[in-house]
């Protein structure tokens, strides 16, 4: 059990290491240390075709690709447009949507090495593409725009030809889509263009015949709201984030379905202003919400309650390959897995030392990062977390098994204010003395 001692210091940081004999670790989010820098303020979308191969796009018009699960990234393309979304059907064939009425959709046939604008989309063509859903290797749906001109475009032959659907009878703005079958799926947005009227309600629209017919499955009860992202962690349970465009909302909501989207319930997220956008659930119980509101929030009870997640800023997209593997983007790129977490951990090749110790961090004071060295005299499950003065978790640095040896852990202090901090080590029944560290 961790015991936090409060002191009359305005800002405190507690770091604890817990060693146990357990070998079970739960998936955790970590900030990928070599993630690309976002252009346009943040990364807008991420898509992985398998656990190792994925792409990230952002407002700077940049496409990044990784072939090793996010450990390294290459910038493969730079567009002149704001890239909003991305999706792939195979390792080679993919699409990226833009906020441009000149080139709303790009395509690649070589795994993202080269991209070209998609031509031949029939009228009424979309003004921009905000969301993409790929079913199998050849069926693609794309929707837009968040500011009006509600269009759905569809291809059933891997992008060789396209069909356009005008959804003005059901919505005036579209942001995202999710198709669980080549013919069945949802598009979400608003009943009006909030950028011109500000009076639209959140709307969920469904088709079961490939877009030949549509029906509204949900219309919100409050004006000034726009559905932003959609996430289905199971066949029957789904979630939709709601962005509020009123000047000062005192309550922010999200949608949830438990009957495969036949009905949707409005659920309270926060009772204060928060610019909600990204939403993603790894399981029907465990999920996250983020956005321009800043911090990321986590729920472990299907959205009934929320608490600070301790990772991520300005989150716009969460995507999961399984309930133990996922990727997300916002200010950086984040990975959800059983792998080592946010600390940069490396083994120090030196002789075995006796006992267990945690050395003073260095440098101290520090600006953006500092490093701890610790030694293990036996195989142990290491849990290293950062806490604030109230005992709330700020970051998870390590949560994994480690063999005997000496290790170094580097902590990146992005998002923490300057001040005087404190850390404490707990190892079984052993409690290290408190030590000071300074963040300039």
Domain boundaries, the chain: 14-24+342-439, 28-337
- Rounded CA-CA distance 370/230 in Å is 38
Which of 115-119, 272-276, 434-438 is most confident? 115-119
Burial class (CB in 10 A: 0-12, 13-18, 19+), 274: buried
Mean pLDDT score, 66-82: 94
The pLDDT assigned to 373 comes to 79
- Rounded CA-CA distance 247/250 in Å is 10
Structure token pair of residue 188: 């979400």
| pLDDT confidence tier of residue 18, bands split at 50, 70 and 90 | very low
State yes or no: pLDDT of 409 exceeds 50: yes
Mean pLDDT score, 52-75: 94
- The CATH architecture one would assign to domain 28-337 is 7 Propeller (2.130)
| pLDDT confidence tier of residue 157, bands split at 50, 70 and 90 | very high
Rg (CA), the chain: 23
Residues 6+ apart with CB under 8 A from 98: 61, 79, 81, 82, 83, 84, 104, 105, 106, 128, 129
Q: Between residues 351 and 199, which one has the greater pLDDT?
A: 199
**90 three-state secondary structure:** coil
Q: For residue 128, how many C-alpha atoms fall within 13 Å in the half-sphere facing its CB?
A: 17
Q: Which segments of 180-327 does DSSP mark as H helices, in order?
A: none
Closest CA to 292 of 273, 309, 311, 266: 273
CA 233 to each of CA 101, 187, 190, 242, 288: distance values in angstroms, whole numbers, following the listed order: 33, 17, 23, 18, 12
| pLDDT confidence tier of residue 37, bands split at 50, 70 and 90 | confident
The pLDDT assigned to 342 comes to 52
State yes or no: pLDDT of 12 exceeds 50: no
Q: Between residues 431 and 114, which one has the greater pLDDT?
A: 114
The answer to whether 165 and 143 are in contact (CB under 8 A) is no
Helix (H) / strand (E) containing 397: strand 393-402
pLDDT tens readout for residues 307-328 = 999 899 999 999 999 999 999 9
Helix (H) / strand (E) containing 16: strand 14-20
Mean pLDDT score, 127-144: 97
Closest CA to 149 of 123, 170, 128, 135: 128
The pLDDT assigned to 63 comes to 97
pLDDT tens readout for residues 173-202 = 999 999 999 999 999 999 987 665 667 899
| pLDDT confidence tier of residue 47, bands split at 50, 70 and 90 | very high
| pLDDT confidence tier of residue 24, bands split at 50, 70 and 90 | very low
Q: Between residues 373 and 288, which one has the greater pLDDT?
A: 288
- Rounded CA-CA distance 386/394 in Å is 5
Q: Are strands 325-329 and 333-337 parallel, antiparallel or unpaired?
A: antiparallel
What's the full length of the chain, in residues?
A: 440
The pLDDT assigned to 17 comes to 45
Cis bond before residue 365 (omega within 30° of 0): yes
- Rounded CA-CA distance 129/142 in Å is 6
DSSP state letters, 237-267: -EEEEEEE-SSS-S-EEEEEESSTTSS-EEE
State yes or no: pLDDT of 422 exceeds 70: no
Percent of the chain at pLDDT exceeding 90 = 61
β-sheet bridge partners, residue 77: 63
Between the CA atoms of 15, 38, 276 and 131, what dihedral angle is there, to the nearest 10 degrees? Answer: -140
Burial class (CB in 10 A: 0-12, 13-18, 19+), 219: middle
- Rounded CA-CA distance 55/49 in Å is 9
């Amino acid at each position: 059990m961790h015991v936090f001692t409060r002191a009359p210091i305005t800002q405190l940081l507690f770091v604890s290491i817990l060693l146990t004999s357990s070998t079970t670790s739960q998936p955790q989010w970590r900030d990928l240390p070599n993630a690309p820098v976002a252009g346009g303020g943040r990364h807008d979308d991420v898509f992985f075709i398998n656990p190792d191969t994925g792409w990230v796009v952002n407002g700077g018009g940049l496409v990044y690709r990784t072939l090793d699960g996010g450990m390294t990234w290459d910038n493969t393309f730079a567009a002149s447009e704001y890239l909003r979304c991305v999706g792939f059907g195979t390792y080679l064939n993919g699409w990226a949507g833009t906020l441009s009425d000149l080139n709303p959709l790009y395509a690649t046939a070589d795994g993202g090495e080269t991209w070209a604008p998609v031509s031949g989309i029939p009228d009424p063509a979309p003004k921009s593409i905000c969301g993409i859903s790929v079913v199998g290797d050849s069926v693609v749906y794309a929707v837009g725009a968040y500011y009006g001109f509600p269009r759905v475009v569809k291809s059933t032959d891997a992008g060789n030809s396209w069909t356009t659907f005008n959804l003005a009878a059901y919505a005036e703005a579209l942001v995202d889509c999710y198709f669980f079958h080549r013919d069945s799926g949802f598009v979400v947005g608003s009943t009006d263009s909030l950028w011109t009227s500000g009076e639209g309600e959140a709307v969920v629209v469904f088709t079961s015949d490939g877009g030949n017919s549509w029906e509204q499955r949900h219309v919100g009860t409050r004006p000034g709201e726009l559905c932003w992202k959609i996430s289905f962690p199971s066949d029957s349970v789904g979630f939709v984030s709601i962005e509020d465009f009123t000047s000062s909302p005192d309550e922010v909501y999200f949608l949830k379905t438990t009957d495969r989207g036949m009905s949707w319930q409005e659920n309270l997220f926060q009772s204060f202003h928060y610019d909600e956008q990204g939403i993603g659930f790894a399981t029907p119980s465990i999920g996250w919400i983020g956005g321009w509101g800043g911090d990321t929030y986590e729920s472990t009870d299907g959205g009934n309650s929320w608490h600070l997640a301790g990772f991520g800023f300005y989150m716009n997209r969460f995507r999961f390959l399984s309930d133990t593997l996922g990727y997300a983007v916002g200010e950086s790129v984040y990975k959800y897995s059983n792998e080592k977490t946010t600390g940069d951990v490396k083994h120090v090749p030196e002789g075995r030392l006796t006992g267990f110790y945690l050395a003073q961090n260095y440098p101290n004071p520090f600006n953006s990062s500092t490093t701890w060295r610790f030694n293990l005299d036996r195989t142990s499950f290491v849990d290293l977390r950062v806490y604030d003065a109230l005992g709330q978790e700020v970051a998870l640095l390590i949560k994994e098994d480690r063999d005997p040896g000496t290790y170094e852990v580097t902590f990146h202090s992005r998002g923490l204010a300057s001040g005087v901090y404190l850390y404490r080590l707990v190892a079984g029944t052993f409690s290290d003395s408190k030590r000071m560290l300074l963040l300039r």
